[in-house]
Chain A
Amino acid sequence: MKRSALLLLLLLGTGLAILVSTLGESSSYVDFETAATEPGRSFHVVGTLNRSLPLVYDAEKDANLLQFALIDQKGLSTTVLYYGAKPQDFERSEQVVVVGAMQMQQGKPVFVADQILTKCPSKYTEDTL
């Protein structure tokens, strides 16, 4: 009986550790303002493409530089830099999640994304004739 009690304790302990670590390590969906309060820390920002500003990607100049402006859910538009190829279907995405951190570049705050997730709810289930 002793051993199984020990095992149970170990199991519960590990479970608790997992719980704590999941809560501790989880990132959060924030807006750019919050992300700017802690430059360098990684956040998820959900937003939509700011179509009034140009989207810069010229594969022939630099295949690994994408620059665009994203409007977060509070309506604030911020420049986002991504050092990679432009994701497929980027322009028509309805919603963009950028994962990365705020940084100062030449005195201006930019959001440097490590990951870009695009969400196209209408993807192939577009119900228009």
Chain B
Amino acid sequence: MIPYEGELLWPGNLGHGAVIVSFCAALLGFLAYGHALQGHKLERGRWETWGRWAYGLHSLAVFTVIGVLFGIIYTHRYEYHYAWSHASKALPVRYILSAFWEGQEGSFLLWIFWHVVLGLFFLATTGRRWEAGVMTVLCLAQLMLSSMLLGTLFEIPFLGDLKIGSSPFVLLRETLQAPLFERPDYLQWITDGNGLNPLLQNPWMVIHPPVLFLGFAACTIPFGYAVTALVRRLYREWVGPALAWSLVAVLTLGSGIIMGAAWAYESLNFGGYWAWDPVENASLLPWLFMVGALHGLHAYSKSGYSLKSTFMMVMLGFVLVLYATFLTRSGILGESSVHSFTDLGLSGQLLAFLLLFLAVMVGLLALRWKEIPSKEKDGEESGTSREFWLFVGSMTLVVSAFQILLTTSIPVFNAVAGTNMAPPADVVSYYNRWQLPIAVLILLMGTTAFRLRFGRSEPAPVLRWIMVMTSIAVVMTLLVGYTQQIGYWSYLLLIFASCYALVGNLHQLYRARQRVSTQGGLFAHLGFGLMMLGVLVSSSRKEVVSLNLEGTPLGSNFSPAQARENVLIYQDQSKTMAGYQVTYQGDSIAGPNRYYKLDFQKKDENGRLVYQKTLYPNAQINPKMGLIASPATMHFWDHDLYMHVTQVPDPENFEQKSRLYAEPVLHYLDARGDTLMLKESLVIFEGLQTQLDDQWAEETSGAEAAVGAPLRIRNLQGEFRLMPVYVLRGGVEFRYPDQTQEPGMRVELQKIDPQTGQVALSVQTLQPAPRAYVVLKMLRFPWINAVWYGSFLLVGGLSLSVMHRNRQYSRERTAD
């Protein structure tokens, strides 16, 4: 044992102990609540009291774990691996939070934290009828999640060691092997941590993960209601609260996804807000299912229709949260995603987590399948009823999710079947091809369904309404298509569907103007329509405006898809892009970032300046990750101009590179006098000079011949004189070259040929100083604001619905 100095070990021990307590308390809570759920009515109360105590203890332990880990990071205790690998002293305080959840362990803690908060909120506000079931599920989820943080080695006979979880409190010296750790005072040599990935040093990364994980956590509660409903046969009663909680899940998860898109657009450089990356898809999948579940629950609550599929969607929503967790954290995505977590050896546990809840779902549904009421009283569902179209709509969402699921799961398929499949080469257009018609269907059905009644509607007025809305939408489509020059019929179809959603939902809102606060659904659908319109126009008319027409020709066998999309601008020079004169005015450094100053000017026909703006796209030239560029964007009401640097001269090489002479070039001149035109200067040779002045006395003494070549060099900087000298002494040639710093020229008198009367001058010019430049990529996104405003409306509408349901649900409860 080495007596290590300066280590603060008690926080780690406290934290690790608290993890174990939280795990055990979750187990206790699960057992107690499980008994309460299943056991005899008379025993329930006692078991629930036990469960509540266990959950309280669990919550306390979780808060301790979080507090300790945060403290370790905040006070830069680098003896702990987590603090060392995710933080550094230069990290601004606001990003300590990002550092907290950058690692897997921290992000599990975030999820655990939201479960605790939601669980406590649930206990405080919700009646006891649901407590046992929901809390059993919540405790089971917490049990699985806190096991991810245990970091304990179990020795199992015959199977060897089994490592459960990965503790955030392991010490640096326990994780890494280095000779340094043989010194008792190793800690004073570790002066700084590894630092936070610069991509995550962004305000969006402070806010986006908590919202997303709140969404994940919120999906657990509806699952809990479904379990309770199935176990206790409360097929009717669960719908109200499950609907309210599903709305919360859809709202928070949706906001998290939109924030992720905004983060990608504002500060990543992949040129857009959505790339169908597996990690993005992984959070979209549960969202689609929860939206489907929402519509199923709504339909069932009004009509008693489609309960079985609703159960499945609610439960699959949470199972897909677990699948998403498995995908992004097990390392299985491998090559197909750029931003998944690295494998911590938790894949087995993650898989167990997923399979456990899948088994709960399948088992319970199989057990109760026959009893779940399904409405068949009419034998035929009326095609003019709202519930029918709600059902069809949610099935369409399932189809959409299935397509995303299948393509995203290709790496999983490879791992299981040992195949070597890769995602389609142009994966974005592959997804779009499938998802575009689905979006069209959803927009059309979602809008029309609001015009229908539950039960049965009179077809004639509905048809009339559809006709009117369609005609308005067709006119709008033609307008949009014409002004934005969109010719593809499939794109026009989506524009039509979006316009139909816009006018249809606006009209419905107008009709319901007396009770706007209950119309969250209409606002959300309106927002979705606006968003899809923005998505279609901004992505189909996205344009690279930094097209480079220079450079080596591509040859005939290249498609325009491989167009050159990057433009180089030297400092103090300008290029014209998208009608702007863009001038690169140099760079500056602030913190870890280098800002590239770009001046944008637009002039009218008379040369008058009509627009001027300076933009600063920045980049970190990070010793660990190379160039990390962040875009800068010019926002206009109808489009954005978005740009980022793709290449800059390496600042280090740039500063150190000393100027070099180019290869010498021989020039033959008339020995009596001549002139020589060079690229940037004029050389006047005044004729060989045989009488050299005294300064050459030493070199010329005893020489057979000594001549000089007086030169006058004129260039932009002025006139300079040079005098290279040639000496022949004892049969040996000596050449004394002459040089100037400022036009940067070195001349040697190489040879004198008496026969031709010529002299040979060897001229070397100094290579021009390296010039600063940036290589830029610039994109134009038309109508991008429609995406953001649509998202606001969608989120706003969902919030309105959450409030409305909450009011309604608390009325129901008081009526109970």
Contact = CB atoms under 8 A, between A and B. Distances in A.
A92 B625 CA distance: 8
Contacts of B335: 29, 44, 46, 95, 97, 117, 119
A62 B552 CA distance: 7
B interface residue count range (under 10 / 10 to 19 / 20 to 34 / 35 or more): 35 or more
Interface string A28-71: 11100000000000111010000000000101111111000000
B420 A29 contact: yes
B510 interface: no
A72 to B, nearest CB: 13
A64 B544 CA distance: 14
Given A3-B380, A123-B625, A114 B562 contact: yes
B85 A125 contact: yes
Interface string A91-129: 110010101000101000000101001011101111111
Interface stretch (B25-33, B219-227, B398-406): B398-406
B552 A92 contact: no
Given A3-B383, A29-B422, A127-B176, A64 B565 contact: yes
B660 interface: no
B379 interface: yes
B392 interface: yes
B636 interface: no
Given A44-B425, A83-B558, A123-B625, A22 B548 contact: no
A102 to B, nearest CB: 12
Contacts of A28: 420-422
Nearest to B424: A25
Contacts of B646: 63, 84-86
B626 interface: yes
B422 A27 contact: yes
B566 interface: yes
A100 B554 CA distance: 16
A19 B775 contact: no
Contacts of A86: 646-647
Given A29-B422, A63-B567, A97-B335, A129 B190 contact: yes
A25 B383 CA distance: 36
B773 interface: yes
Contacts, number: 155
A4 B424 contact: no
Nearest to B775: A63
A24 to B, nearest CB: 9
Interface in B381-431: 381, 383, 388, 392, 395, 398-399, 402-403, 406-407, 410, 420-426, 430
Interface in B725-760: none
B376 interface: yes
A82 B372 CA distance: 58
Q: Which of A2, A7, A22, A128 has the most chain B CB within a 10 Å cutoff?
A: A22
B194 A3 contact: no
Nearest to A99: B425
Nearest to B181: A129
A59 B653 CA distance: 14
Contacts of A112: 558, 562
Contact of A26 (B381, B392, B423): B423
Contact of A83 (B180, B430, B562): B562
Contacts of B557: 103
A65 B552 CA distance: 9
A18 interface: yes
A92 B425 contact: no
Contact of B568 (A26, A27, A59): A59
Contact of B625 (A2, A44, A88, A95): A88
B422 A124 contact: no
Contact of B565 (A15, A65, A84, A90): A84
B382 to A, nearest CB: 9
Contact of A21 (B194, B434, B567): B434
Contacts of B178: 129
Contact of A60 (B420, B625, B773): B773
B566 A124 contact: no
Contacts of B775: 59, 63, 85
A7 B380 CA distance: 12
A76 interface: no
Nearest to A41: B425
B688 interface: no
A63 B197 contact: no
A73 B178 CA distance: 32
A75 to B, nearest CB: 17
A105 B381 CA distance: 64
A83 B422 contact: no
A22 B568 contact: no
A86 B629 CA distance: 13
Nearest to B546: A63
Contact of A63 (B420, B430, B568): B568
B814 interface: no
Nearest to B568: A63
Contacts of A92: 626
A17 to B, nearest CB: 9
A7 B395 CA distance: 9
A35 B434 CA distance: 27
Contacts of A2: 380
Interface in B541-557: 548, 550-552, 554-555, 557
B769 interface: no
B594 interface: no
A42 B559 CA distance: 13
Contacts of A83: 554, 558, 562-564
B421 A18 contact: no
Contacts of B196: 124
Given A97-B335, A126-B194, A27 B647 contact: no
Contacts of B403: 18, 22
A63 B338 contact: no
A125 B106 CA distance: 14
Contacts of A125: 85, 194, 342
Given A83-B562, A84-B565, 12 more contacts: A1-B379, A26-B407, A26-B423, A27-B422, A29-B335, A63-B568, A84-B646, A85-B646, A89-B625, A123-B625, A125-B342, A127-B175
23 contacts: A3-B380, A3-B381, A18-B403, A22-B403, A22-B407, A25-B424, A27-B425, A28-B420, A57-B647, A59-B568, A59-B649, A60-B568, A63-B548, A64-B548, A64-B565, A65-B551, A84-B566, A85-B566, A88-B627, A88-B629, A124-B625, A126-B194, A129-B178
Q: Name the 10 nearest CB pairs between A and B, nearest first.
A: A89-B626, A64-B564, A85-B646, A42-B425, A44-B422, A62-B551, A27-B422, A124-B197, A25-B424, A85-B566
Interface of B: 85, 175-176, 178, 180, 190, 194-197, 335, 338, 342, 376, 379-381, 383, 388, 392, 395, 398-399, 402-403, 406-407, 410, 420-426, 430, 434, 548, 550-552, 554-555, 557-558, 561-568, 624-629, 646-647, 649, 771, 773, 775, 777
